[in-house]
């Protein structure tokens, strides 16, 4: 990025984040803050992720083999943006994967991430019918191609190597590997008896990332798929490897974020955030969920928001949303909305708990409006004004400025009426 | 309760809770575990609340002035029970309040709680048109009447007295008092310049509770209604008073639980649970939410579930649910369902995080079913099998036992196919 453009971007972000420009610059320099932004891209809403920044939310979009509509994915994108997604990832694995990525890149005002191994896998399945036909060259070519198209950040499953696999092979996991990228690469490594190309050719990947100013999101192939598998030696061994790769990336001048959690009970989240910060030199932590139980089918956005809020409070920087459709199917537009809002609540709860002054402003304003029973102002300050309004008017008392819950016994009105008697 | 009936109940509960009978007995004796169960009642599913027990969820039912249907409240009851409510409270404040309570008491298989001051207030408003006409005698009569009907636990707003009010008057709160019971009593105290009858006649209330084996839930009139009001001197002063009243209750042989939180950021929850346990001699803690932000209008079940899961992890024993309609109106049957499930997830997350062995069993089973792609088994083990099934079949791949999310790239199948190559 040219210096002039970079300076004005950093100034804008420093203002938005309510931190001094020098602080932002320092943190970017020591890689604890990253700004995913491909030099080929023009986006209106880039964002900073990491130390001291507002907690960000990523929304996954993308088709699958069964549902491959461009129109629907663009609707999902627009819902994600409307409800506050800070970034989106296109995880398409359907036949029209390239078209969908192109459309998302064209239409997204926020940074776009992808998982290049998905395109490689879909292509090799379409052309050769089996995954073992894929070559390291296919991977590098696809990464380069997507870099040219303007993708802002890539998930690279580089932590799964022979060493982590050796540790993994000694675990008794309930769910083994649930990362799709991890499973594809495991399959290739085991059937070919070769090293993971994402690990072996990491320097080549770094070169591409460097050329295009792409942030690498180092993927966690061994993330736990059951709360009973969490924080096991395989997961932590992979995190150690990711820490080593983080160092190599920083030496080459490439920004990284580290992917983590999955399924994990509340009591383990603090330690996991701490371990990531220590083992990966303070690189921003990007957590999926974590889902605090395995049994919340149909409600995994809630199980995920619980874990995400906790992770954010303890220092996770970037939350990957989960929808109600998790474990059951591809999310619909409505599911994307539900998931986005649940995770925006979690991120905001994390910001409040970390004492971020700016976050408190909105809570203060909505409470002031609530105290005065200014309903429109409350709706406007909430995550989903239409829903709030519809709920309020569903059963609103006709003559009074109260809601149907307490009605004549509205605590706010009762207190207003008598507070004059209290010498304050 | 006769000794024989009591013994068999305690044995049943010890088995369900997976604790030795002696442990349960000891904890009941030192009042850290309570079993709300009016001696006039016959219920099929009583439960124990407190130290080392599974975290319980309460579901609020009840009409308001605007919506006063018995049929709808019974539908809400049945939905609450279906999705796992451990207790219900009838918070009716409409004209048919008595009929609704009677119907709920007749139909509920779980303990039923009420807030007697609501009935007193509704009656005095109907008969005399203003709250200041209510008398301490009205309150005691209503409590006695409801006790005879079989209510298992009462919320008694006894912590608001002249002393707490004095501390309250020195605070600058955004939301002052948001507890309905608290607001009614504050209004009475200030317009009459008299002490809170719930505090002044606490011994009389204890006598009734003792006679009927009713558990008292000591209400928090000063619970914060904004995250900016949380953990202020007024809230903690009331908790100190509740601790003193707890001691008086125990001396009279009456079991109590303590009500807490409301709106509170994540970072304050641990300290609040600890303070309650210390100040109230380990009495079970019954928390509303806590809602970790003020701005989640329409999604307060999620903001509440986030706080509730934490509270449970740190030792809260009993979670009062919140629905998506909170702050907006009386919940519908669907809202009751959403709120119940969100809080069952929170309670379960708390049980897992506290390491309760029995809680892990269901997560293990669902993960085993997931690993084998046994879909029906997964649905059965989830909170809402109908929803899970509908989501799965919405877009299911025709020929394969996978879901529409990953389809041909199902990580579980990919791993299954190659794991034989890994020498384990």
A131 at the B interface (CB within 8 A)? yes
CA distances in angstroms from B240 to A97, B103, B161, B269, B302, listed in the order given = 62, 37, 12, 17, 30
Rounded Cα gap, residues B20 and A386, in angstroms: 52
Contact B62, B92 (CB under 8 A): yes
Contact residues, A window 22-61, toward B, CB-based 8 Å cutoff: none
In the DSSP assignment, the letter for residue A419 is G
**CA–CA gap between residue B129 and residue A285 (Å, rounded):** 59
Give the nearest partner residue to B409 out of A121, A303, A384, using CB atoms: A121
Q: Does A232 touch chain B (CB under 8 A)?
A: no
Residue of A nearest to B400 (CA): A66
Distance from CA of residue B38 to its chain's centroid?
18
* CB of A256 closer than 8 Å to CB of A34: yes
Banded model confidence at residue A417, pLDDT cuts 50, 70, 90: confident
Phi, psi of B410 (to 5 degrees): -60, 120
Whether B424 has a pLDDT exceeding 60, the answer reads: no
User: What is the pLDDT averaged over residues A46-50?
Assistant: 97
Burial class (CB in 10 A: 0-12, 13-18, 19+), A130: exposed
pLDDT at A254 exceeding the cut of 60: yes
Instruction: Report the residue from A226, A327, A423 with minimal CB separation from B363.
Output: A226
Q: Residue range B200-224: average pLDDT?
A: 98
Asked if omega into B290 is within 30° of 0 (cis), the reply is yes
End-to-end CA distance of chain B: 58
Cross-chain Cβ contact A370/B93 below 8 Å: no
Q: Are A104 and A91 in contact (CB under 8 A)?
A: no
Among residues B282, B237, B235, which one has the least CA distance to residue B256?
B282
In sequence order, the 6+-apart residues with CB closer than 8 A to the CB of A370 are A378, A412, B175, B225, B226, B294, B327
In this predicted structure, the answer to whether residue A67 has a pLDDT above a threshold of 90 is: no
Q: What is the pLDDT of residue B405?
A: 85
Nearest-by-Cβ selection for A388 from B178, B328, B391:
B328
| B50-90 pLDDT per residue, tens | 999 999 999 999 998 878 899 999 999 999 999 999 999 99
A329 touches chain B (CB under 8 A): yes
Instruction: Give per-residue pLDDT as tens, A120-136.
Output: 999 999 999 889 999 99
The residue-averaged pLDDT of A262-278 equals 98
Separation CA B297–CA B294 (nearest Å): 8
Hey, what are B410's tokens? Answer: 């199902």
pLDDT category at A398 given cuts 50, 70, 90 is confident
This model of the complex carries an ipTM of: 0.97
Would you state the pLDDT for residue A1?
Answer: 64
- For residue B402, pLDDT over 90 is answered with no
Judged by a CB distance cut-off of 8 A, whether residue B399 touches chain A is no
Q: What is the mean pLDDT of chain A?
A: 95
Answer whether residue A307 shows pLDDT above 70. Answer: yes
Query: pLDDT-based confidence at A344, cuts 50/70/90?
Result: very high
Q: Report how far residue A402's alpha carbon sits from residue A400's, in angstroms, rounded to the nearest whole number.
A: 5
Q: A282 with A51: CB under 8 angstroms?
A: yes
pLDDT-based confidence at B1, cuts 50/70/90?
low
pTM for the whole structure: 0.97
The rounded Cα A15 to chain-centroid distance in angstroms is: 23
Q: Rounded to whole angstroms, how far apart are CA atoms A304 and A57? A: 12
| Chain B residues within an 8 Å CB radius of A370 | 175, 225-226, 294, 327
List all residues of chain B from 172 to 191 with a beta carbon under 8 Å from chain A.
174-180, 182-184, 186-187, 190-191
**Quick check: helix, strand or coil at residue B397?**
coil
Residue B407 DSSP code: G
Name the one residue in this structure whose structure tokens are 């909305």: A337
Q: What's the pLDDT band for B331 if we cut at 50, 70, 90? A: very high
| pLDDT, tens only, A201-215 | 999 999 999 999 999
To the nearest whole number, what is the mean pLDDT of chain B? 95
Record the tokens describing residue A259, joined without a space.
Answer: 């992917």
Q: Mind giving me the DSSP string for B8-47?
A: HHHHHHHHHHTS-HHHHHHHHHTTSEE----TT---S---
pLDDT at A182 over 90: yes
Asked if residue A328 lies in contact with residue A298, where contact means CB atoms within 8 angstroms, the answer is yes
Is the separation of the CB atoms in B238 and B17 below 8 Å?
no
Q: Which of B66, B97, B129 to mutate to probe the A interface, most A CBs <10 Å?
A: B66
pLDDT of residue A423: 58
Contacts of B345 in chain A (CB under 8 A): 292-293, 296, 299, 302-303, 306
Per the CB < 8 Å rule, is A330 touching B405?
yes
Q: How does residue B422 score in pLDDT terms, banded at 50, 70 and 90?
A: confident
C-beta atoms of B419 and A176 within 8 A = yes
Pairing relationship of beta strands B87-90 and B112-114 according to DSSP bridges:
parallel
User: Nearest to residue A311, comparing CAs of A253, A261, A244, A383?
Assistant: A261
3-state secondary structure at position B142: helix
CA distance A29 to A26: 5
- The predicted model gives A142-147 an average pLDDT of 98
Length of chain A: 424
Nearest to A179 among B226, B342, B411 (CB): B411
Per cent of chain A over pLDDT 90 is: 88
Residue carrying structure tokens 């790769």? A245
Query: Is the bond preceding A290 in cis, omega lying within 30 degrees of 0?
Result: yes
**In percent, how much of chain B has pLDDT > 90?**
88
For residue range B109-168, list pLDDT tens digits in order.
999 999 999 999 999 999 998 899 999 999 999 999 999 999 999 999 999 999 999 999
Residue B214 per-residue DSSP state: P
Q: Is B311 exposed, middle or buried (0-12, 13-18, 19+ CB in 10 A)?
A: buried
The class that CATH gives domain B31-355 is alpha beta
| For residues B291-307, average pLDDT | 98
**Sign of CA pseudo-dihedral B84, B89, B94, B95:** positive
DSSP B258-292: EEEEEE--GGGHHHHHHHHHHHTTT--EEEEEEES
Cα–Cα dist A148/A212, whole Å? 8
* pLDDT tens profile B182-207: 999 999 999 999 999 999 999 999 99
Instruction: Kindly list the domain boundaries of chain B, sorted by start residue.
Output: 31-355, 374-423
């Amino acid at each position: 990025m040219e210096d002039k453009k970079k300076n004005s971007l950093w100034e804008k972000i420093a203002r938005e984040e309510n931190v001094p420009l020098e602080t932002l610059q320092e943190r970017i320099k020591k890689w604890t803050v990253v700004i995913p932004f491909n030099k080929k891209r023009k986006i209106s809403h880039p964002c900073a992720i990491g130390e001291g920044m507002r907690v960000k939310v990523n929304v996954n979009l993308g088709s699958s083999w069964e549902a491959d509509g461009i129109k629907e994915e663009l609707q999902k994108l627009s819902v994600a943006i409307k409800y506050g997604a800070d970034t989106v990832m296109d995880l398409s694995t359907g036949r029209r994967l390239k078209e969908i990525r192109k459309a998302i890149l064209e239409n997204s005002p926020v940074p776009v991430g992808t998982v290049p191994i998905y395109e490689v896998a879909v292509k090799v399945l379409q052309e050769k019918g089996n995954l073992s036909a894929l070559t390291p060259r296919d991977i590098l070519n696809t990464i380069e191609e997507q870099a040219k198209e303007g993708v802002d950040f890539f998930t690279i499953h580089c932590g799964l190597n022979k060493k982590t696999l050796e540790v993994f092979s000694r675990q008794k996991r309930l769910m083994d590997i649930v990362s799709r990228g991890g499973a594809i690469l495991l399959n290739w490594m085991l059937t070919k008896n070769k090293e993971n190309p994402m690990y072996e050719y990491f320097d080549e990947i770094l070169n591409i990332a460097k050329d295009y100013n792409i942030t690498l999101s180092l993927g966690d192939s061994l993330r736990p798929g059951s709360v009973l598998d969490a924080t096991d030696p395989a997961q932590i061994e992979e995190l150690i490897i990711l820490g080593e790769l983080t160092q190599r990336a920083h030496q080459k001048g490439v920004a990284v974020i580290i992917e983590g959690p999955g399924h994990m009970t509340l009591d383990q989240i603090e330690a996991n955030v701490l371990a990531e910060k220590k083992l990966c030199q303070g690189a921003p932590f990007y957590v999926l969920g974590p889902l605090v139980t395995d049994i919340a089918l149909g409600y995994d956005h809630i199980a995920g928001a619980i874990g995400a809020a906790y992770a954010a409070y303890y220092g996770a920087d970037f939350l990957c949303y989960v929808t109600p459709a998790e474990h059951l199917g591809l999310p619909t537009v409505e599911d994307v909305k539900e998931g986005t809002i649940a995770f925006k609540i979690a991120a905001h709860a994390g910001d409040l708990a970390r004492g971020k002054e700016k976050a408190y402003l909105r809570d203060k304003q909505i409470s002031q409006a609530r105290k005065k029973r200014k309903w429109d102002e409350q709706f406007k300050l909430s995550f989903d004004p239409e829903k709030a309004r519809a709920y309020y008017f569903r059963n609103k008392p006709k003559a009074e400025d109260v809601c149907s819950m307490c009605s004549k016994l509205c605590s706010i009105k009762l207190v207003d009426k008598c507070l004059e008697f209290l010498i304050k």
